[in-house]
Structure 1
């Protein structure tokens, strides 16, 4: 759901933070600019990313368990250790059975119990496999897909409840294409991904073998999974098309949808989710269901059963015995991402527990460790950034006054969420037992699904958060026109209470500006101040925006990320616009804070130089080649190096700060630079 509604700062990181013996603000003794993180053998003008981050990169080599290790990951890793201490303290205090603290401790303990996990073997999923095997026709397939969707799996497509994008105050049931176990259609269709496809086939066969299927059955299962997932890939929207908000809005009556697309027995499917009486849905990628209908007609019930069984085994593998986990890690971890070792069991158990009881864990964290002063300072920063963005909008030469008025209205209507929600979620009805780890995961998934399904047809709760407080990330949600900064990101290197303003504006200030700019990027600009998908631009302004955005697309398209593989400027456009906007808006706010007098240099760096060094420090990372290729296909964010170098090459003040000339590799001719916001 987060993926559909929110543009986050970084994809793929639902990072947990925990508690230490000291409050968060004491962690800010971290130096604002750590000179050891620089690589002064490289000049700023030749490669600013290497200059600003080279020392950090050298000091933080990739560990075998990581495919990418950067500033986000380091903070996440530190927080995992802290959160581990918190949960272990709950266990040591012998919490009352059934209490939230007991549920957290018990869930975590079951993830650690390797002896039980290995002794249980395939038993935790046997009943579910038997139910799939009992399927005999379309009606049973429809009921089974509803069950699996409720249990947190996504065969064929996904269903979720969220704001109606053209009536943003009300929730509507929405369908979204899914069903690809490798995550992107290219893995099934391109010659260059053939090696990964072959490894995927081996993985599918291995799961069925581990589940007790015969060699012949495993072979048939592998063929069925490849047939269905390749068919799904062929009818799926491309990742570029998924960025077209209007193209992905297809509201219709439920009766019209059922009449047009006979993929399933929809009465049974929606009835199984308690949604039989809903009047309408948003079918998102509507043509996908026509293609899916055609595919299903060419697919036998037995093939569909194998596909459903694989979805179950693939999802459950992380929570079963060591053999299942190793099989999943070898494909997704080693083959697709280049990782060399599994994460320690405690990290895996921690991540699962944190996901299942996210706000419960977050409440414990906030109560004990989140300093009010951080929230107060953030509110001030956000106010300064809003003012700066307003000034930049007023100064745009390419935008008409009529559109500027609408843009200012949208900016003024931003809802700002900092730290943690005002109202915490109730977990009293989530049942945690000591039967099996997988059973608890399923019950947690059902609990979450029912939580969201209950919103169908009801007004949108704009107070609800879509990230937990202990998540090292931030987001913008277009349908509520909100920006959110969880407590966990308000730590160094993002937010440093002891740092001077220049560093904080370069770090958390740019993060704030980044999320604000999402409201005006290639997707966010399509939503008005109330969060409705509505064109509030003049035709000429829209044309001018697109012209500028296309320049940015071409700049990033020209980046070679590895060997002959280029970045995808169209797919990453929104994040690239937000990175650039965040830089420009935050620097505008910093300059205003000078009140005409720039502060003195620190460690030989001017305030402007410290601003850009503070920004670059966020993106230092080591990354494996396999992960570069994977993220280029699935992540709408540019790689860390290019979030620095490619973004800064368009910023005039950056050139002045480091005296970059036409003789430097970082130099771009002024007429080739582009500024959007």
Structure 2
């Protein structure tokens, strides 16, 4: 795994950056863990373009008078023909994506709010006015990024030692040793190691290893004809970076690098394959790992990792390992060295002078995602500081922006959604009593984390220098890695969070059997204590239900109530579940957001099940909250209609075409349009609420609707 990446500035929600044990500032394009191995399911994969344009108020937003923005609707569209446009069409028509974004919607709007709030905190820290034990560290991280004059004067000097070390390599074994230092330096690895919770023994940590080495967003960018232009642009970019650092024969080296990564891409598992938690759990001794990769010296590699003596590894994409070893053994050393030099410079580019940062932006953001403009420096500085000392920033954020009453109301909502899930499990007609009992046991054992951690991270061992941006990134990365190495043989920290409170997202962790809701998402349009309850049940209620449903999706269902990866289903019930899941996958695989770019129903399976279950539970819980009384009608909308509108409002989003194409090949979440239209068409309650008829475009016959939870 690379230690420093442009992605630390882009607020990417890569699973590798969220799993326990992942370096805090790690990049996403090494695929450092097979997705299933990361043990975390996000509500939303945040766009890699980061913050939007303009200052915003620090006050929480409001939507209309009862929690829904009616001005964003397009009432000329029949709900049964296109519910997304019915609920959001006017908003879509009038909204322009900010120039420094590849995507914009309600998640992004809240992210802007969080970003502005954090900026105010960081400005105080940099000025010496912040009262917090880590104020100096917060200020140093932020100041080092904002000190553009120093960064400009240093130009490429920060990476000169790493490039010199690469040049000194005389053998393939030496190069293997160099890759072993990836978790504490700027080097990259094709077979990265990381530390995560052991899926079959979730009270302990395990050393895991996976395939990596790719720079482009997905293997399809190397192999699919649809991305041929992007691949050609990538080769030109590699040549440009090599030229900027003075590497020998940049044009020839660039071609060799792309050819090398293309061979790795051919050997890599698809993202859908990497979701399978059974197939990605392959324990191996060091000798077995060595036998799996002939010619790849693991002893030499591990010597650089700072790991203690380890003889048990979890190999994720195991069948790809021999292929990677073969490619590695057949690639000339000069090509490997050029690849490593490029990766060092490419990952460091956002932390270097303007010529490097601009070059990286032009390719990674503008070419790959269609984002016209680079973000202002302060926004990139906010993202950097959040990654380096995020929990210290979060401690201040929570004190200012998360009132205790919000936490109390969330406790009640979660309890109501759990009750709804219990009732659903008990009433399932396709599940037998044995599996039901185990499912109910798992539900009862869910841990809920709301707002912020009980214990804040101790950054006392981390040194940050206001004049050393590049060094700060590496020290923060190494700090995180060493923190996890130190606890490798100890018990799993069940109190740890995989997100900071200022993050606008939520997640379910398989191994801990926990659902987590950071403070920043607990605001409108997701949660507004003054809004109509139906809107909250469609918004945050759907989100809570989504995360609970992850515990019972196609991968979450593989762990029991204690987080142990094991098969607790009867064969008959598992077959019935899989039949419905495949039916859902086929529905989503038919969606084509852009010509030639279809949703991958297998890759997005877990999120689609989460959405369908989440909205169903939100509706059920709303019904229960009425205590048998009729729901009020507000401005002509029934209670059920408002629940569905609340869900649709959450997913208001626009996206640039290139970013959308990237999403459908690399993101386990369906595009937002289908998180509305793809979800509601399977829910009987939606048909009743909006009187949807067989001749409506979204209509699915009852027999063909997917019914899981």
Q: Shorter-normalised TM-score: what interval?
A: over 0.9
| Equivalent runs, 1:175-324 vs 2, <5 Å | 175-214=209-248, 217-324=249-356
Q: Which whole-Å CA distance do the structure 2 matches of 1:30 and 1:265 have between them?
A: 65
8 Å CA contact 1:235–1:288 kept in 2: the answer is yes
Which of 98, 105, 108 is the aligned partner of 1:73? 108
Q: Deviations over 1:170-207 (max 9, x none)?
A: 11100122111002111111222111110000110111
1:55 aligns with 2:85: no
The range that moved more, 230-239 or 148-157, is 148-157
The range that moved more, 588-597 or 455-464, is 455-464
8 Å CA contact 1:107–1:353 kept in 2: the answer is yes
Q: Deviations over 1:24-44 (max 9, x none)?
A: 678689750121121122221
Change (3 A) 1:94 1:34: closer
Q: Which whole-Å CA distance do the structure 1 matches of 2:514 and 2:349 have between them?
A: 36
Q: Which whole-Å CA distance do the structure 2 matches of 1:542 and 1:25 have between them?
A: 44
**1:332 corresponds to:** 364
**2:144 corresponds to:** 110
**2:453 corresponds to:** 421
Q: Deviations over 1:632-655 (max 9, x none)?
A: 011110101100001100111101
Q: Deviations over 1:489-521 (max 9, x none)?
A: 101111101012111000000000000000011
Q: How many pairs does the alignment contain?
A: 672
Q: Which whole-Å CA distance do the structure 2 matches of 1:116 and 1:277 have between them?
A: 41
Q: Deviations over 1:274-315 (max 9, x none)?
A: 224112010111122211111111012211111111111111
The range that moved more, 498-507 or 255-264, is 255-264
Question: Post-superposition shift, 1:22?
Answer: 9.6
Change (3 A) 1:422 1:64: same
8 Å CA contact 2:217–2:662 kept in 1: the answer is no
**1:553 corresponds to:** 585
8 Å CA contact 2:611–2:675 kept in 1: the answer is yes
**1:505 corresponds to:** 537
**2:117 corresponds to:** 82
8 Å CA contact 1:153–1:315 kept in 2: the answer is no
Question: Post-superposition shift, 1:82?
Answer: 1.8
8 Å CA contact 1:506–1:587 kept in 2: the answer is yes
**Unaligned segments of structure 1, at least 5 residues:** none
3-state secondary structure, aligned to 2:539:
helix
Question: Post-superposition shift, 1:91?
Answer: 2.2
1:569 aligns with 2:615: no
Q: Which whole-Å CA distance do the structure 2 matches of 1:609 and 1:29 have between them?
A: 16
Q: Which whole-Å CA distance do the structure 1 matches of 2:614 and 2:667 have between them?
A: 19
**2:5 corresponds to:** none
Q: Which whole-Å CA distance do the structure 2 matches of 1:166 and 1:564 have between them?
A: 40
| Equivalent runs, 1:522-561 vs 2, <5 Å | 522-561=554-593
8 Å CA contact 1:7–1:475 kept in 2: the answer is yes
3-state secondary structure, aligned to 1:562:
coil
Q: Which whole-Å CA distance do the structure 2 matches of 1:308 and 1:26 have between them?
A: 46
Which of 102, 116, 119 is the aligned partner of 2:153? 119
Change (3 A) 1:495 1:471: same
Q: Deviations over 1:458-517 (max 9, x none)?
A: 221111111111110000010110100011110111110101211100000000000000
**2:707 corresponds to:** 675
Which of 407, 429, 438 is the aligned partner of 2:439? 407
Change (3 A) 1:74 1:189: same
Q: Deviations over 1:10-67 (max 9, x none)?
A: 01359899xx999967868975012112112222122110111122223431111111
Q: Which whole-Å CA distance do the structure 2 matches of 1:127 and 1:152 have between them?
A: 10
Question: Post-superposition shift, 1:565?
Answer: 2.4
Which of 640, 650, 653 is the aligned partner of 2:685? 653
Q: Which whole-Å CA distance do the structure 1 matches of 2:312 and 2:443 have between them?
A: 31
Normalised TM-score (structure 2):
0.92
3-state secondary structure, aligned to 2:450:
strand
| Equivalent runs, 1:371-520 vs 2, <5 Å | 371-520=403-552
Q: Which whole-Å CA distance do the structure 2 matches of 1:608 and 1:26 have between them?
A: 24
Change (3 A) 1:262 1:459: farther
8 Å CA contact 1:156–1:178 kept in 2: the answer is yes
1:44 aligns with 2:76: no
**2:7 corresponds to:** none
Q: Deviations over 1:118-144 (max 9, x none)?
A: 221111110111111111113321221
Q: Which whole-Å CA distance do the structure 2 matches of 1:145 and 1:513 have between them?
A: 42
Q: Deviations over 1:372-406 (max 9, x none)?
A: 11111111111111111011011111111110001
The range that moved more, 543-552 or 102-111, is 102-111
Q: Which whole-Å CA distance do the structure 1 matches of 2:76 and 2:56 have between them?
A: 39
8 Å CA contact 1:29–1:498 kept in 2: the answer is no
**1:638 corresponds to:** 670
8 Å CA contact 1:316–1:438 kept in 2: the answer is yes
Question: Post-superposition shift, 1:110?
Answer: 2.0
3-state secondary structure, aligned to 2:193:
strand
Question: Post-superposition shift, 1:5?
Answer: 2.1
**2:618 corresponds to:** 586
The range that moved more, 596-605 or 29-38, is 29-38
Normalised TM-score (structure 1):
0.96
3-state secondary structure, aligned to 2:369:
coil
**Unaligned segments of structure 2, at least 5 residues:** 1-15, 19-34
3-state secondary structure, aligned to 1:118:
helix
Q: Which whole-Å CA distance do the structure 2 matches of 1:206 and 1:495 have between them?
A: 47
